Amino acid sequence: DAGITQSPRHKVTETGTPVTLRCHQTENHRYMYWYRQDPGHGLRLIHYSYGVKDTDKGEVSDGYSVSRSKTEDFLLTLESATSSQTSVYFCAISSNSDSPLHFGNGTRLTVT
């Protein structure tokens, strides 16, 4: 299995509070991704990174920001959490543009 660790595994937070989710990889892969999974929507891309300090927006990026200061870490931040951001968040990595994505075990975030 690809070495991907997401933390925390579960989190409950209140509306309006900032939240940061962490993705850590030990594979030295160049590409990293954040997805959210919601019933009836499958997985949707939030942001992705193609190198240290190189990031771009995905399909559902509003309300989210990311940072990648090291190859192994990709952080997803909700500046002010809303109930619509209650979801399961997955991090994924890929060694190149031809490869499949390998996923972490997800973070379940509940915003009350």
Partner 1 sequence: AQTVTQSQPEMSVQEAETVTLSCTYDTSESDYYLFWYKQPPSRQMILVIRQEAYKQQNATENRFSVNFQKAAKSFSLKISDSQLGDAAMYFCAYRVYSGGGADGLTFGKGTHLIIQP
Q: Which residues lie near partner 1 (CB under 8 A)?
A: 31, 33, 35, 40-45, 48-50, 56, 58, 88, 90, 92, 94, 96-98, 100-103, 105-106
- Taking the least distance from each CB to partner 1, the nearer of 76 and 92 is 92
Q: What's the CA gap between 55 and 110, in Å, rounded?
A: 26
Q: How far is the CB of 37 from partner 1 (least distance, A)?
A: 9
The 10 Å CB-count burial string (b at 16+, else e) for 53-81 is eebeebebbeebebebeeebebbbebeeb
SS3 88: strand
Is-contact 47 61, C-beta < 8 A? Answer: yes
Q: How far is the CB of 43 from partner 1 (least distance, A)?
A: 4
Q: How far is the CB of 80 from partner 1 (least distance, A)?
A: 25
Q: What's the CA gap between 100 and 66, in Å, rounded?
A: 22
Q: How far is the CB of 65 from partner 1 (least distance, A)?
A: 17
- Taking the least distance from each CB to partner 1, the nearer of 25 and 106 is 106
- Taking the least distance from each CB to partner 1, the nearer of 34 and 81 is 34
AA letter at 33: Y
- Taking the least distance from each CB to partner 1, the nearer of 49 and 85 is 49
